[in-house]
Structure 1
Amino acid sequence: MRLKQQLTIAFIVSVLSLIGFSFIAFTISANEYLKFDEVVIALVQGLESPLLTSIMKFFTYIGSTSALIILSLFILFFLYKVLKHRLELILFSAVIIGSPLLNFMVKLFFRRARPDLHRLIEIGGYSFPSGHAMNAFSLYSILTFLLWRHITAKWARVLLILFSMSMILSIGISRIYLGVHYPSDIIAGYLAGGFWISISIWFFQRYQDRRKNKDMQ
């Protein structure tokens, strides 16, 4: 895929993600919670069982800040030592550091209270957008983007996408199941993550293009 196409796709994804996020933000500003939230929460929490609760707590931990730091350090080491693509460390670090910072600022702006229906764990802070969902989307999407370039086998690329999608969805669903987020928080977190990572990739690709043109001169 040519660079111009990659830049165009990244720009379109960022715009669509921003539009989707803005729509949800406007909707929840007019309503404390949505009928959609009630229906999905009832459906997900209706599956409650001791085994499923343990599984969901595991995925919530995987999406926590401490686990994010550990995974990020491992990926940074892999990119630096194994793949030898040191420039990509900048992109990865910018995405991983910027995602929770952006999420924190957006949460302070909207100040949406967490659901108080049926919580299986206790947690403080604001609800919108979900930090777990946003950070998971950012982490596994940027990981997929970086590894995709080094994987040529079609089956391996399919596995990479399936793994990333399953982790993103599982972490998001775990927050609904445990009663600490509305479904609209999760979707907004995914959209915010999509906006952040697409903008980051756009700037990264632009920088690489300018650096390449400069070297050719």
Structure 2
Amino acid sequence: MWVLLLLLALAGFGGLSLLVQRDSIREFDLSIIHTVQGWENDYFTRIAKTLSFIGSSSVTIPLALSIAVVLAIVLKHRREIILFVGTLLGSWLLNATLKSLYQRARPDIHRIVTEAGFSFPSGHSMSAFSLYGILTYLLWRHLPSRGWRIALILFSLCMVLGIGLSRIYLGVHYPSDVIGGYWVSACWVTLCIRLFMIWQKRTAARRNGSSSDA
């Protein structure tokens, strides 16, 4: 079932990317951009710049390294490090590959900040979804209560949505860039978690088999 859902999700992204390539989604993008940038004031601009900075590699790389250290030394979860690092590295490589494939220019309507490189899909959105998505999965079972788990989900949602929205507000991404980034990362994180679960089951089965033979 999960394979079918993954294929449907990938097909959905393929449809979105086709609309982007044909410039058939421009009216949707522009309407959202005009609405979001209509909120512009000094307060929202500071918030957007802060969220955008949090989603940049200057923050995500040190944060990811710190989390990896905690997984290895504090929690002693060395297998989880493979999942965590693999998910983030794969997301970065996937984003670089897709950007070079589609080569979509960034919006030139009203930029509050300047950003180089291609636009589709949004790297900040992919990075945020992958980082906070896989972090939520890893921390979920270690939290002591339902309240903490709800707080974790809300925090991750706010970070992911806030970072994506900040990129639209600052004028460096189309909404379809952000949606595309979320879409690809959702597929990628789901695939990584599923493969990790299969690996864990097979490892446990081999251990049980070895114990039975002994």
**TM-score with structure 1 length normalisation?**
0.92
Give CA-to-partner distance per residue, 1:165-193, whole Å, 9 cap, x none. Answer: 00000000000000000000000000011
1:18 to 10, 28, 33: 10
Answer yes or no: is the 8 Å Cα contact 1:63–1:135 preserved in 2: yes
Residue of structure 2 equivalent to 1:188? 180
Alignment partners' CA distance in 2, 1:175 and 1:32: 21
Question: Which of 192, 197, 204 does residue 200 from structure 1 map onto?
Answer: 192
Alignment-derived partner of residue 91 in structure 1: 83
The CA distance in 2 between the partners of 1:165 and 1:74, in whole Å, is: 21
- CA gap 1:17/1:66 in 2 versus in 1, 3 angstroms: farther
> Counterpart amino acid of 1:185?
D
- 2:23 aligns to what? 31
Secondary structure at the counterpart of residue 100 of structure 2: helix
**Structure 1 residues 16 and 154: CA distance shift in structure 2, 3 A:** farther
Aligned partner of 1:79 in structure 2 is: 71
Aligned to 1:123: 115
Matches within 5 A, 1:12-161: 14-31=6-23, 33-161=25-153
* Greater mean alpha carbon deviation, residues 164-173 or residues 25-34: 25-34
Distance in 1 (alpha carbons) for counterparts of 2:77 and 2:67: 12
Distance in 2, matches of 1:115 and 1:101, equals 23
Provide the secondary structure at the position in 1 that maps to 2:204. helix
| Alignment-derived partner of residue 171 in structure 2 | 179
Contact 1:14 1:196 (C-alpha < 8 Å) held by counterparts: no
Unaligned runs of 5+ in 1: 1-7
RMSD: 1.3
When normalised by structure 2's length, the TM-score is 0.94
Aligned equivalents of 2:91, 2:84: Cα separation in 1? 11
Following superposition, the deviation at residue 81 of structure 1 comes to 2.2
The answer for unaligned runs of 5 or more in structure 2 is 210-214
Structure with bigger RCO (C-alpha 8 Å, 6+ apart): 1
Q: 1:213 to 1:90 in 2, by over 3 A?
A: same
For 1:80, the aligned partner's letter is A
- Does the CA contact (< 8 Å) of 1:13 and 1:198 recur in 2? no
Task: Note the alpha carbon deviations across 1:35-65, whole angstroms, 9 max, x for none.
Answer: 1101110110000001111110010011101
